[in-house]
Amino acid sequence: MSRFSKVFLIAAVVIMVGAGAVMAQTTHEIKQGTVVTTHGNDLVVKMADGTTRQVTVQEGFMFDVDGVPTAVGDLKPGTVLTADVKTNRQVIDVQTEEIRKGKVINRVGQTVIIRNENGEVKKYHEVPEDIVLTSNGKPVTLWDLNPGMNVTATIVSTREEIVDEREITATGTAPAAAPKPAPKPAPAPKPVPYTAPALPSTGSQLPLVGLTGLLMIVIGLGIGIIRRF
């Protein structure tokens, strides 16, 4: 193999690898934020850089919060979310079909002059030989076109379109529960006031008077005995 052939082969391989990288490419992006509030499917998150962002979550999407599937409406403020965004980018060929009608004014080789339905005269250069043409309902070729023929052209064009498919997995850690306040001490029992027992309804002050008189007599006898001695 000549040196020129080797260089050409290497260049061809490089071009093919580069084209493959453009055709299909997968990227990962990690995003982290803290839940501020939720409303319906809208989620407000404070990002790691301090900015606040509102995200509309797809219906039915579940967050894995501490191993528990959690809907957006059940996320608590303070929950730290980490999202892994996987993007598959592909370049696909999209074909479009266009129907054009008009009357042939002239044709020279592969150049055709047509008056379209709006009365405008258009000149088309390098018309491909495989273009699909019909005249009066019958298929014709480019070389069959003559001035005065009514012709319908079906133009198929191909364009490249970039399509991104995203796959998102989101995990979260719920905020730690606030410690419960210590129970308040039980209030001290109120002192019960002392209440003297009530006398029976049949009681009277006479026994007390009699006891007092007896005591006075004993005292008087004691004084008399003391004087004798």
Mean pLDDT over the full length of the chain: 76
Whole-angstrom distance, CA of residue 110 vs CA of residue 62? 60
Residue with the bigger pLDDT between 190 and 84: it is: 84
Whole-angstrom distance, CA of residue 51 vs CA of residue 81? 15
Whole-angstrom distance, CA of residue 50 vs CA of residue 55? 16
Name the phi and psi angles at 44, rounded to 5.
-105, 120
Q: Percent of the chain having pLDDT more than 70?
A: 68
Length of the chain as a residue count: 229
pTM, two decimal places = 0.41
Name the phi and psi angles at 163, rounded to 5.
-120, 125
Domain topology for 25-89+166-173: OB fold (Dihydrolipoamide Acetyltransferase, E2P) (2.40.50)
- Residue 13's pLDDT band, with cuts at 50, 70 and 90, is very low
User: Quick one: 203 exposed, middle or buried, by C-beta within 10 A (0-12, 13-18, 19+)?
Assistant: exposed
CB 89 within 8 A of CB 24: yes
CA dihedral (66, 72, 78, 83) in degrees, to 10, reads 70
Q: Give the closest residue to 50 by CA, choosing from 71, 67, 33.
A: 33
- Residue 192's pLDDT band, with cuts at 50, 70 and 90, is low
CB 93 within 8 A of CB 160: yes
Bridge partners of 104, per DSSP, are 114
29-34 contacts at long range (C-beta below 8 A, 24 or more positions apart): 29/84, 29/85, 29/87, 30/82, 30/83, 30/84, 30/85, 31/82, 31/83, 31/85, 32/80, 32/81, 32/82, 32/83, 33/80, 33/81, 34/78, 34/79, 34/80, 34/81
Helix (H) or strand (E) holding 134, with range, is strand 132-135
Tokens coding 119: 């009365």
**Range in 68-72, 197-201, 208-212 with the lowest mean pLDDT:** 197-201
Whole-angstrom distance, CA of residue 55 vs CA of residue 69? 19
User: Does residue 158 register a pLDDT over 90?
Assistant: no
Q: Where in the chain is the domain with CATH 2.40.50?
A: 25-89+166-173
**Range in 83-97, 153-167, 204-218 with the lowest mean pLDDT:** 204-218
